[in-house]
Amino acid sequence: MVRLSLILLSLVGVSGVAQADEMRWTHFGIRPLAMGNAFVAVADDYNAIFYNPAGLARLKEWDGELLNPHFEMSENTMKAIKDVRELMSGSAGDTDSILDFLDKNTGTTHHFALGLTPHLIFKNFGFGIGVELSSTMAVHREISTDLDFGPKIVMPFSFAMNFMQERLSVGTSVKFVARGGVDREFSIQDISAFSQSKAKEEEGSTTRTAVNEDEPQLEDYFEGGTGVGVDFGMLFTPIKTMSPTLGVSITDFGGTPYKKFDVGGEALGAPKARLPSVNTGLSLMPWEKNNMFLRTSVDAHAINQPAHYSKKFNLGAEWGYGKIIKVQSGLHQGEFSGGFEFDVFLFSCRFVTYTEQLGTIAGQDDKLRDRRYALQLKLLM
């Protein structure tokens, strides 16, 4: 029963990002996602340490958050969780029950995430930690599942400076990265073999040698590693009128490989290296009066990577009244995104809804459109 639990939780709700073409080139933030994720040329809050460290040079005051948990879930996930609970609570648990569950969810997408982003930023300097425990799953029609689950950590230490009378800002980050879990496509044969191994163990075979050693074990696919990467960023604002700003960031410059974990003297497999990503953006402040403003932005992400252009371009807009309230909207991979941020004294609330396109081409497969909702609260600082 333990192995069955691991399999089902891995497929539906433990953690990770599936291989189904989800383009994650940095640790995404709630507010940037609400703006269609078009944030490279905005970078005016703590998200700058992940999107474009040059933005730290333009901060007007320090900011820190210690406890700011966020919770994220897609529309299909609650139904899947209910099905899994029925599988695990009854007499179900055999191969047929698992296959029925997979068949019911064939072609659908699921996502669930818990995260935390503590940070402390000042003008010219900042550091933070992006921690996420999430699950993204796409069940294919041939009854196979792309699965990449496990915790992810990104810890950047960023520095930035202004030049040319603050028209040009340049920044860099040195970041520690870590991840673990499973990164594999599980076929129907794999799932059947897991279930057969479970049945043998329940019959009294409690050691690995009592079971055919050629049979796959879930623990055989675990991997984990740590690494150190470098990001660069630039912002250029030629004139003050409407603040037209060009932003460029290069994340994981040269690629960021992972060094294998050793667990009990046995080395796990190393996760795939983080690919370098060249990202550009333009932002404009067409209206600003008293404490109110309107900002627009457009981004192109991972332009050096061989992904379809429909997944790279994003548009965003934001209306705000000082730091108290901000309302965002945008287009992320061709789909509507929107949200708000409310910040008063020690309390802050951020909300976003957006769609992640898990297909190779945005909009090509309607079932791979993953509508998500996320809420973040600031509880300390």
Domain boundaries, given as residue ranges, for the chain: 2-378
Give the residues across from 135 on adjacent strands.
Answer: 112
d(CA 337, CA 371): 9
At residue 83, the pLDDT reads 80
What radius of gyration do the chain's Cα atoms show? Answer: 22
At residue 50, the pLDDT reads 98
d(CA 305, CA 323): 36
At residue 199, the pLDDT reads 53
Question: What mean pLDDT value characterizes the chain?
Answer: 84
For the chain, residues with pLDDT lower than 50 are 1-20, 92, 205-211
Global confidence as pTM: 0.85
Report the helix count and the strand count for the chain, using DSSP H and E: 6, 21
Specify the amino acid at residue 358.
Answer: L
Mind listing the pLDDT tens digit for each residue in 299-332? Answer: 999 999 999 999 999 999 999 998 899 999 999 9
For 123-175, the DSSP string reads TTEEEE-EEEEEEEEEE-TTS-EEEEES-EEEEEEEEEEEETTTTEEEEEEEE
d(CA 46, CA 341): 14
Range 2-378 has CATH code 3.20.20.120:
no
